[in-house]
């Protein structure tokens, strides 16, 4: 068992993130987080999916997003992405399409469809961009010379619609930049990154940050919350292992032996990284063996 008195549940876990920000009574901290990310004043937030999905631990590692209605004008989907599966751009497009489809079913008038925002908090680096926060809109391509019509516009419209917006916040890039916790966004991102030492002043000035820390502390003393965390973590590990197994099978069937060996080495490295994380969280070596299939000797070497 884990000594939960000495450990804190990480907000970089999707199930911990959802439990903190979608629970009834925590609307004020969700509102504060969204204001910091979107840089807009918000009066009211309503979580549309506070419950955990029934297939939480199945082989597909179900999505743990938080769907929020903001001031009755905006529908926002926010999610903590735990592992890089190389498809966050496509997943984000899918989320947006799903939200728009749901909204169109509710309304007969296109003009009544709410603005749609998708927020992805990534616990990994994904885009080749020199920024930890990237905001995307549906933009026009540059006007081609052979299609130019002189309409007298000194400045052309660049955005096709303001109704669609995607945010990507890459936590490792933020940590690498290592800013002070001067803004609300910096304060929230340091809390999500698990660096409370950066938040001494924020805890005095920001009541929502202080409340969020208290909630995490309380959850971290609850054995059932740890059971949920570990069950979810194991489900994601199983899902990722299954994905790697499928890729490896494809390599066996259609690629050279050298590439198969490279995939095996990659899988081994992934298991080693998972073992390091589990050791940091205080998990017993015997339990880590069951999850990662590494030997006791291999795991003990990681402690050095």
* pLDDT tens string 202-249: 888 899 999 999 999 999 999 889 988 888 887 766 655 544 444 445
Residue 111, CA distances (Å) to 101, 124, 152, 163 in order: 14, 37, 29, 11
How high is the mean pLDDT of the chain? Answer: 82
118 pLDDT band (50/70/90 cuts)?
very high
* pLDDT tens string 35-86: 999 999 999 999 998 888 776 655 455 678 899 999 988 999 999 988 777 7
Q: In angstroms, rounded to a whole number, what is the distance separating the alpha carbons of residues 194 and 290?
A: 27
Q: Which residues pair with 120 in a beta bridge?
A: 79, 168
111 pLDDT band (50/70/90 cuts)?
low
């Amino acid at each position: 068992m884990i000594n939960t008195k000495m450990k804190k549940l990480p907000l970089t876990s999707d199930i911990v993130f959802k439990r903190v920000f979608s629970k009834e009574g925590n609307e004020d901290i969700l509102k504060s987080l969204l204001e910091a990310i979107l840089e807009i004043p918000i009066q009211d937030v309503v979580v549309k999916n506070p419950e955990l999905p029934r297939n939480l631990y199945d082989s597909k590692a179900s999505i743990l997003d938080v769907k929020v209605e903001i001031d009755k004008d905006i529908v926002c989907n926010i999610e903590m992405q735990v592992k890089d599966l190389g498809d966050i751009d496509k997943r984000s497009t899918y989320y947006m399409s799903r939200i728009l489809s749901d909204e169109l079913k509710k309304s007969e008038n296109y003009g009544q469809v709410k603005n749609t925002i998708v927020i992805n908090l990534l616990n990994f680096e994904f885009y080749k961009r020199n920024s930890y926060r990237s905001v995307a809109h549906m933009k026009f391509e540059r006007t081609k010379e052979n299609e130019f019509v002189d309409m007298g516009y000194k400045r052309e419209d660049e955005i096709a619609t303001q109704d669609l917006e995607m945010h990507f916040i890459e936590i490792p890039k933020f940590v690498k930049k290592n800013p002070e916790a001067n803004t609300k966004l910096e304060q929230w991102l340091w809390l999500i990154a698990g660096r409370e030492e950066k938040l001494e002043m924020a805890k005095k000035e920001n009541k929502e940050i202080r409340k969020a820390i208290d909630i995490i502390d309380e959850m971290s003393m609850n054995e059932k919350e740890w059971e949920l965390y570990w069950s979810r973590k194991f489900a994601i590990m199983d899902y990722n292992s299954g994905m790697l197994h499928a890729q490896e099978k494809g390599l066996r069937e259609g690629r050279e032996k050298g590439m198969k060996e490279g995939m095996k080495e990659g899988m081994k490295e992934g298991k080693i990284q998972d073992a390091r994380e589990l050791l940091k969280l205080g998990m017993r070596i015997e339990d880590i063996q069951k999850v990662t299939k590494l030997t006791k000797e291999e795991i003990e070497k990681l402690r050095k």
